[in-house]
Amino acid sequence: MIQIRPARTDEIETVRDIERRSAARFLGTDRAELADDEPTAAAVLARRIEAGGLLVAGDGGTPVAFVMFRPEEGCAYVEQIDVLPSHARRGIGARLLEAVAQLARERGLAALTLSTFKDVPFNAPYYARLGFAVVEELTPGMAAIRAEHEARGLDETARVFMRREA
């Protein structure tokens, strides 16, 4: 049975492994190079855990998916969400996003926002099915996130920001 809960610091390497293994889903897409990306740094994950911005979905207590988020301009900005390939297509990602929405409401945040690839079926089209809409005009915070992505070498012409009310 899948249970969603805050991540613990002793699970940081497990979360990094989920991110690494989940990246294989980009193989066979126009974004295959992302399969070789390094996972989020352990120090960043530790900060998100401390701030209450990292949830895991556990199967029998072992994390099989996670979502990492932070407050940004009065919203919960979803930085990363990954599900192990062995647990994909079971609604776990959607449940994690609902958990973030619940926390956002409790924390007085108006919406969930994220940045994703517009042409990858399990990115923008998936989020659209979950109620997210493309943001046409970037906020200053989104523009700063876009600049961070560009500095990391991401092709921002292939990405969109999306928003959903919490």
Q: What would the mean pLDDT of 109-133 be, rounded to a whole number? A: 91
Domains assigned to the chain: 2-165 (3.40.630.30)
Q: Predicted confidence band at 145 (pLDDT cuts at 50, 70, 90)?
A: very high
- 108: which strand partners? none
Q: In this predicted model, what pLDDT tens digit does every residue of 70-87 receive, in sequence order? A: 999 999 999 999 999 999
Q: What would the mean pLDDT of 43-51 be, rounded to a whole number? A: 97
Q: Report pLDDT for 69.
A: 98
Q: What is the mean pLDDT of the chain?
A: 91
Which pTM does this prediction carry?
0.92
Is 22 strand, coil or helix?
helix
Sheet of strand 54-59, all strands in order from the earlier edge strand to the far edge: 2-6, 54-59, 62-72, 75-83, 111-117, 159-165, 133-134
Kindly provide the residue ranges of all beta strands, DSSP E only, lying in the chain, ordered along the sequence.
2-6, 54-59, 62-72, 75-83, 111-117, 133-134, 159-165
Q: Decide if pLDDT at 115 tops 80.
A: yes
Q: What would the mean pLDDT of 11-29 be, rounded to a whole number? A: 84
Largest Cα separation within the chain, whole Å, is 42
Q: In this structure, are residues 113 and 72 in contact, taking their beta carbons and an 8 Å threshold?
A: yes
Q: In this structure, are residues 95 and 57 in contact, taking their beta carbons and an 8 Å threshold?
A: yes
Structure tokens at 45: 């994950």
For strands 75-83 and 62-72, give the pairing: antiparallel
Q: Report pLDDT for 29.
A: 62
